[in-house]
Amino acid sequence: MALDAESFSLLRASVQRFIEERLKPAEDTLEELDDVPADIVADMKEMGLFGISIPEEYGGIGLSMSQECEVVYDLGHTAFAFRSVFGTNVGIGSQGILMDGTEEQKQAYLPRIASGDLIISFALTEPEAGSDAASVQTRAVLEGDHYVINGTKRFITNAPRAGAFTLMARTGDAGASGISSFIVPADTPGITLGKPDRKMGQRGTKTCDVVLENVRVPAANIIGGVPGVGFKTAMKVLDRGRLHISALACGMAHRLITDAVAYARERKQFGKPIGDFQLIQAMLADSQAELYAGMSMVRDCAQRYDAKAPGKADPEVSMLASCTKMFCTEMVGRVADRAVQIHGGAGYIAEYKAERFYRDVRLLRLYEGTTQIQQLIIAKQLLRD
Ligand code: COS
C-alpha cells in the first residue's frame, strides 16, 4: 500500500503549508487553552489527516509506512499536541483492527476512524501493567454471547476524546496468551473516565484513566474474532507505533536545531553573534549529525517495514524498529538539551520554545516502550538461536 508519488508530494506540500500557516502560529494558543482549537481539528479532518495510514478502500489516504514517516517528520516541526489529536486514529488505535480485524470490523470502524468522526484510543497500560504488558489484569469473562469486562486502564491517550477503545483484557490464564483485544465503544454503560492527567509537558494532549465496571461487550467485538491473540496484536501495533514516534522525534530535532541556529545568529556576546564561537558550533554540528543518523534509520526501517508481509510479525524488523525508537528518542533528548544550552538563560524561560519542547520530548523515551524495553527487545533478538 502506498500513495502514488505525485499525489503524495501534493499531500506533503499541503501538510507543510498547514504546519507553517496554521499550526506554528497557534502554538501559544494551544499552550494557553491546553487543547487544540476546534477550527484546527476541523481543518485536520478536511485534509484527511485522521486517515493517512488507512487504505483507500476504507476511506483513508493509504500511505505506506515510509510515506507516513515523512509526513510525521513534518508534523514533528510543531507542538506534538496537534499530531496527538489524530495520532491514535492513524496509529495505535486503528492498526490492530486493520492488521487483525475481521472484514466486518474493518467496514464498521475504519471509515469513521479515517474521517475523524470516531476517535479511537489504545488501552493496554494499567496501574500494574506498564513495561510488563503481558501482566494485564483487566478481566473479560464470557457470559452467553457477551464478555463482561472489569479493570482500570491508565495514561490512555485521547481517552477524553474517544468514541471507542481498542482494549486489551484477560480472557484466559496468566501470561501473553491469555490476552484478547476488544473494540469497546466509549459509551458502553460501566465505563467512566478519571480526571485528566497533569503532565510535565505536551499541553493540549489528553490522557486519563479508563475505569471499566461490568462493561458488557458483544463477543463479536474481539478483534479478529479469536481470543488469546490480543497481546500479539498489541505488539505488532507497537512495532509500527515505534517507527512513527521515531519520525516524530526527528522532526522535532530539526525544529530545535532550526530554532537554535536562528538564535545563534541573532544573539550577540563578546561583540559578535554566538554562532561565531566554536563551542556553540560544536553543539549545532553534533545535533545535526545525530539527526541525520536518526532519520536515516527511520527511512531504512520504514522501507523494510513496507517490504514485509502486511500485518505479519517480523522479529528482525521489530528489533530494528526498537533500535530506531531508542536512538531517535534519546537523540532528540540530547538535541533539546543542547538547544536549551545554546539559548543560555533564555532557554529556561517559557517565552522561548526550547524550554517547552525540552519538556515535551521527554515523553518520547517513555511511551510505546521505554528505552530500557527497547534494549531488552534488541538484545533478545540478538541472542535468539
Ligand atoms: N510482534 C508479534 N508478536 C510478538 C512480538 C511482536 N513484536 N513481540 C512478542 N510477540 C509474541 C511472542 O512471539 C510470544 O509469542 P509465542 O508465545 O507464541 O512465542 C508472545 O508475543 C509473548 O512474547 P514475549 O515472551 O517476548 O513477551 P514478554 O512478556 O517477555 O514481553 C515485551 C515482551 C517486554 C517486549 C513487551 O511486554 C513490551 O513491549 N513491553 C512494553 C509495552 C509498551 O510498549 N507499553 C507502552 C504502552 S502503549 S503507549
Alpha helices in the chain (DSSP H): 5-18, 27-33, 38-47, 65-75, 80-90, 95-100, 103-115, 230-266, 278-307, 315-343, 353-360, 371-383
Q: 127 pLDDT exceeds 90?
A: yes
Determine the pLDDT at residue 107. 98
Residue nearest to ligand 1 atom 7, measured at CA: 235
pLDDT in tens, 210-247: 999 999 999 999 999 999 999 999 999 999 999 999 99
Residue 329 pLDDT grade (very low, low, confident, very high; cuts 50, 70, 90): very high
Residue nearest to atom 44 of ligand 1 (CA): 369
What's the 176 CA to ligand 1 centre distance in angstroms?
Answer: 8
Q: Is the CB of 369 under 6 A from ligand 1?
A: yes
Residues 212 and 247 in one domain: no
Nearest to residue 242, comparing CAs of 375, 152, 132? 375
Domain stops at, among 92, 115, 138:
115
Residues 220 and 245 in one domain: no
49-67 per-position pLDDT tens digit = 999 999 999 999 999 999 9
Closest CA to 126 of 178, 167, 94: 167
- One-character DSSP codes across 237-286: HHHHHHHHHHHHHHHHHHHHHHHHHHHHHH-EETTEEGGGSHHHHHHHHH
- pLDDT at res. 6: 98
Identify the band that residue 204 occupies on the pLDDT scale cut at 50, 70 and 90.
very high
pLDDT reading at 354 higher than 90? yes
Confidence of residue 183 (pLDDT cuts 50, 70, 90): very high
How many folded domains does the chain comprise?
3
Q: Could you tell me the pLDDT band of residue 344, with boundaries at 50, 70 and 90?
A: very high
- Residue 173 is predicted with a pLDDT of 95
Percent of the chain whose predicted confidence (pLDDT) is above 70: 100
Residues 218 and 309 in one domain: no
Mean pLDDT taken over the chain = 98
Residue 28: predicted pLDDT: 96
Q: Is the dihedral of CA 372, 376, 377, 381 positive or negative?
A: positive
Residue 140 has pLDDT above 80, yes or no: yes
- Are the CB atoms for 208 and 152 separated by under 8 Å? no
Give the structural domain span for 355.
231-384
Contact 366 CB / ligand 1 (< 6 Å): no
Task: Please tell me if the CB atom of residue 58 comes closer than 6 angstroms to any atom of ligand 1.
Answer: no
Please say if the pLDDT value at position 385 is more than 90: no
Cβ–ligand 1 contact at 168 (below 6 Å)? no
What is the band of 358 on the pLDDT scale with cuts at 50, 70, 90? very high
The pLDDT confidence band at residue 96, using thresholds 50, 70 and 90, is very high
Query: Which pTM was predicted?
Result: 0.98
Q: Indicate if 278 and 362 belong to the same structural domain.
A: yes
Looking at the fold, whether 130 and 169 belong to one and the same domain comes out as yes
Cα 285 to ligand 1 centroid, rounded to whole Å: 37
- Of the three residues 88, 115, 142, the one that is the final residue of a domain is 115
